Amino acid sequence: MFRIIAKRQLAEDIIEYTIKAPDVTRHHRPGQFCIIRVASHGERIPLSIADINTEAGTITVVVQIIGHTTQELARLGAGDTILDVVGPLGHPTDIGTPERAVFVGGGVGVPAGNLIIREMKQAGAEVLAIIGFRTRELIIYEEKIRAQADELIVTTDDGSYGYHGLVTEPLQQRLEAGSEYDVVVAVGPVVMMRAVAEVTRPYGIHTIASLNPIMVDGTGMCGACRVLVGGQTKFACVDGPEFDAHQVDFDQLLNRLRIYREQEQQAAQAGPHLCRLEQQISEIQ
Amino acid sequence: MDTKERMKLEPIPMPEADMSERLAGFGEVNRGYSEELAQAEAERCLQCKNPPCRSGCPVDVDIPGFIKLIREGKYTQAGLKIKETNAFPAICGRVCPQERQCQAQCVLAKQGKPINIGYLERFVGDWLISHPPALTERPEPSGYKVAVVGSGPAGLAAAGDLAKRGHQVTIFEALHRPGGVLVYGIPEFRLPNITVDSELEALRQLGVEIRTDVVVGRTLTITDLRDEMGFAAIFLGLGAGTPIFLGIEGENLPGVMSANEFLTRVNLMRAFDEDYDTPVQHGRNVTVIGGGNVAMDSSRVALRLGAETVKLLYRRTRAEMPARVEEVRHAEEEGVIFEFLVSPVRFLADNEGNLAAVECIRMELGEPDESGRRRPLPICGDGSDDCGCWRASESVGATGSAGYEAG
Ligand SMILES: Cc1cc2nc3c(=O)[nH]c(=O)nc-3n(C[C@H](O)[C@H](O)[C@H](O)COP(=O)(O)OP(=O)(O)OC[C@H]3O[C@@H](n4cnc5c(N)ncnc54)[C@H](O)[C@@H]3O)c2cc1C
Ligand code: FES
């Protein structure tokens, strides 16, 4: 059993949880993830780790409430427990020792940047962070990222805040203006990561994407998480989750991500109204 | 009764669930011997002075010894007799390949009527679960702490043996539920998870601690275990978990799965149970590739999830199939269609990018390979035998695990 220490609603349907999981903090490095199971009949879902507090023995995760499992999680608050947290899983981010680094984050991929940028800074890099959201209301982790990065650009698709456009546009402009970077790390929706890879490809900049395929065990046992990288099948949970973005077959990843979409939607529809209602009731209380 | 008379007795078949019941759910197919049936089967044992069956048992169970105790109605003692060398009779009685081990050596095997040692072992294993013996005293503590990594049969057996010697044992398991393949792979209709849980409970009674959600090497390292946590010895029973994909075109299409994923979703994550949230891809036409237990289990799970046809493709012939004979028989009875001497060459997609069909080539058998089985060779390079399937569950063996088949 793992206790929820704190819960914070960051935006609509985006919640930050701080969970006591001392063993996960022990050897955790930026870029690694964990898998949680909320309740006994629930699924195992992979989550990025947004922050870690070794002394308190806590991890922080940011969850978008989209499916049945995350809806169930959303009903829990500080003091409640979840059944399983296992990690850290996967390889840490391998950024080398860059002088100039870029973090590109989109949506719920942004919080992962918190630790990745910290790592870049520790490696001695000057860091540009570009974080993008659909609209102003959905902006999360802006202050945390600002506090770490040397420069921050926030974009919104609808122009309601910051730069009006996609995260790739400021990146493209910098590159065209002659800025040089040693590494770019992209975490976010697949289409965003694919677009970032296409922008950096002509410049030959080492670009890392943190992939988010469907997972089950997270220990390399089932192959649900397989992705095609450089023409070879890799298991994202043990070989990744971060890969050379210029080698990743993003189209295949997108195709595989829709495998359970229909079933997920059915499951989600079975519950959300009740969940929202219960959530509101518990908030009133 | 003299030996001649005993030899005339007919083997007692295992009572099985009705076919309609079998396909309608995940209930156990083999229902187990009653006391009467166990008595009748035990009666057949010749009690050989130098029992060859024993030499066929990898853990040297005193087979005539426990069968004699069954005959005397001393079922608890019979179970404890097995437990002297094998901690899990209820599990091994269900899943060991007896026809290749103890029963193959039985003197009655020559007439095709070996003693059903596995069925008898299961009977006493289940007896111990339903009639738990009074707790025997724990052995004198040795003062040593031992870590066991992995809770599959290897880890559990090691933990049991170590605990019996008085060592303080902690098992570390990566998944949320201990049991390894016994709980994530082997389906309910062959080995109910509750049976595994009972055997785990017996281990806990011996003082073994089980910690789930710990991936050794990630959550805790070997150094942590040895230097910080004070474990004097570490046993690694990690299994052979990694599925090997065939490396052929289209194998990452939606609809193509490793048997490990398919079975894990169904067994560990209980996708067959409506109360659970786990989704699993299943279809009307399912193709399973392989000829081992994993392939039989996948085929039979697919039928139970509602498939209309399940075809099993194996690149050798029936004689080379590594699966337990009973699983092959059950699969066939339930309607799995076997296609021998075929090998998939690619998976074809439909317009939406989902699996549409498996393209195969015909094989023939060549010279024996390292495993002693005749090597399958393609008959023609590009023959296309379109199996017309729209879902395939790719059953693949894993490196290092004896008994089942890659591709
Ligand atoms: C579907 C299926 C059916 C089978 N049927 C039969 C049968 O009928 N008869 C038969 O004889 N054999 C059968 N087999 C083969 C048999 O299951 C294996 O030989 C047996 O499970 C091996 O046991 P093990 O303990 O070595 O490994 P496993 O059962 O694989 O257990 C290993 C355990 O270690 C855990 N682990 C791995 N790495 C770590 C780590 N770093 N830290 C912590 N934990 C870790 C894993 O999560 C797993 O739980 C079958 C296999 C499958 C997949
Ligand atoms: S999630 Fe099962 S192998 Fe990666």
How do residues B168-220 score in pLDDT, each as one tens digit?
Answer: 999 999 999 999 999 999 999 999 999 999 999 989 999 999 999 999 999 99
Residue B312, in any domain of the structure: yes
Ligand nearest to the CA of A46: 2
Q: Residue A72 has which token pair? A: 């169930």
pLDDT at B380: 45
Ligand 2 site, residue A211, Cβ cutoff 6 A? no
Helices A190-200, A168-176: crossing angle, 10 deg rounding: 10
Residue B247, in any domain of the structure: no
* Shared domain check, B328 and B277: yes
pLDDT band at A201 (very low <50, low <70, confident <90, very high): very high
Q: Where residue B25 sits, what CATH number does that domain have? A: 1.10.1060.10
Q: How many Å lie between the centroid of ligand 2 and the Cα of residue A139?
A: 31
* Shared domain check, B152 and B121: no
Q: Which CATH class is domain A100-257?
A: alpha beta
* Shared domain check, B123 and B37: yes
Q: Which residues of A touch B260 (CB under 8 A)?
A: 221-223
Residue B338, in any domain of the structure: yes
Q: Which residues of A touch B174 (CB under 8 A)?
A: 86, 217, 219
Sketch the domain layout of chain A as residue ranges. Answer: 2-89, 100-257
* Shared domain check, B226 and B150: yes
**C-beta atoms of A217 and B176 within 8 A:** no
Q: Where residue B159 sits, what CATH number does that domain have? A: 3.50.50.60
Closest CA to B330 of B305, B306, B297, B284: B297
Q: What is the mean pLDDT of residues B4-13?
A: 94
Q: What is the mean pLDDT of residues A140-167?
A: 97
Alpha carbon distance, N-terminus to C-terminus of chain B: 50
- The CATH code for residues A2-89 is 2.40.30.10
* Shared domain check, B7 and B69: yes
Of the three residues B205, B236, B267, the one that is the final residue of a domain is B236
Ligand 2 site, residue A96, Cβ cutoff 6 A? no
pLDDT, tens only, A86-111 = 999 999 988 889 999 999 999 999 99
- Any bridge partners for residue A53, and if so which? A58
Separation between Cα atoms, residue A29 and residue A18, nearest integer Å:
17
* Shared domain check, B372 and B281: yes
Residue A285: pLDDT over 70: no
Contact indicator for A128, A149 with CB cutoff of 8 Å: yes
Q: Which amino acid is at B178?
A: P
**C-beta atoms of A44 and B257 within 8 A:** no
Closest CA to A138 of A168, A122, A160: A160
Residue B249, in any domain of the structure: no
User: pLDDT > 70: what percent of chain B?
Assistant: 92
B224 in contact with chain A, both atoms CB, cutoff 8 A: yes
Nearest CA to CA, how far is B242 from chain A (Å)?
A: 5
The range of the structural domain enclosing residue B378 comes to: 256-405
Phi/psi for B388 (5° steps) reads 60, 35
Of the three residues B188, B204, B236, the one that is the final residue of a domain is B236
Q: How many Å lie between the centroid of ligand 2 and the Cα of residue A224?
A: 5
* Shared domain check, B168 and B86: no
Those residues whose C-beta lies under 8 Å from the C-beta of residue A102, and which sit 6 or more positions away, are A127, A128, A129, A130, A171, A181, A183, A184, A185
Separation between Cα atoms, residue B219 and residue A30, nearest integer Å:
14
Q: What is the mean pLDDT of chain B?
A: 88
pLDDT at B283: 77
Place of tokens 């697949």: A190
Closest CA to B266 of B16, B19, B25: B25
pLDDT, tens only, A36-85 = 999 888 899 999 999 999 999 999 999 999 888 899 999 999 999 999 99
**C-beta atoms of B281 and A41 within 8 A:** no
* Shared domain check, B347 and B287: yes
Count, residues in chain B: 407
* Shared domain check, B196 and B162: yes
**Closest by Cβ to B176, choosing from A37, A233, A256:** A37
pLDDT, tens only, B36-94 = 999 999 999 999 999 999 999 999 999 999 999 999 999 999 999 999 999 899 999 99
pLDDT, tens only, B223-259 = 999 999 999 999 999 997 788 888 888 889 988 889 9
Contact indicator for A141, A117 with CB cutoff of 8 Å: no
* Shared domain check, B350 and B226: no
C-alpha distances (whole Å) from A199 to each of A43, A271, B8, B184, B208 are: 36, 40, 81, 43, 56
Residue B13: pLDDT over 70: yes
pLDDT at B336: 94
**C-beta atoms of A41 and B277 within 8 A:** yes
Of the three residues B236, B270, B286, the one that is the final residue of a domain is B236
Ligand 2 site, residue A76, Cβ cutoff 6 A? no
Q: How many CB atoms lie within 10 A of CB B204?
A: 12
**C-beta atoms of B214 and A27 within 8 A:** no
| pTM of the predicted model as reported, rounded to 2 decimal places | 0.91
Contact indicator for B83, B68 with CB cutoff of 8 Å: no
pLDDT at B138: 81
pLDDT at B402: 23
Place of tokens 């059953």: B395
pLDDT band at B140 (very low <50, low <70, confident <90, very high): very high
Q: Using CA positions, which residue lies closest to atom 3 of ligand 2?
A: A220
**C-beta atoms of A87 and B218 within 8 A:** yes
Q: How many CB atoms lie within 10 A of CB B111?
A: 9
* Shared domain check, B41 and B151: no
Contact indicator for A216, A222 with CB cutoff of 8 Å: yes
pLDDT at B378: 64
pLDDT at B391: 42
Into how many domains does chain B fold?
Answer: 3
Top residue of A71, A221, A229, A235 to mutate, by most chain B CBs within 10 Å, is A221
B223 in contact with chain A, both atoms CB, cutoff 8 A: no
Separation between Cα atoms, residue A25 and residue A165, nearest integer Å:
37
pLDDT, tens only, B287-324 = 888 899 999 999 999 999 988 889 898 988 999 999 99
* Shared domain check, B203 and B260: no
Helix (H) or strand (E) holding B257: strand B256-258
pLDDT band at A151 (very low <50, low <70, confident <90, very high): very high
Q: What is the mean pLDDT of chain A?
A: 92
pLDDT, tens only, B354-407 = 888 888 888 888 888 887 777 776 654 443 444 433 344 444 433 322 222 222
Residue A275: pLDDT over 90: no
Residue B136, in any domain of the structure: no
Residue B248, in any domain of the structure: no
Helix (H) or strand (E) holding B181: helix B181-184
Contact indicator for A136, A161 with CB cutoff of 8 Å: yes
Contact indicator for B149, B238 with CB cutoff of 8 Å: yes
Residue B25, in any domain of the structure: yes
pLDDT, tens only, B323-355 = 999 999 999 999 999 999 888 888 888 888 888
pLDDT at B379: 57
**Closest by Cβ to A83, choosing from B176, B247, B276:** B176
Separation between Cα atoms, residue B142 and residue B277, nearest integer Å:
45
Residue B242, in any domain of the structure: no
Separation between Cα atoms, residue A78 and residue A53, nearest integer Å:
17
pLDDT band at A268 (very low <50, low <70, confident <90, very high): low
CA A189 to chain centre: 9
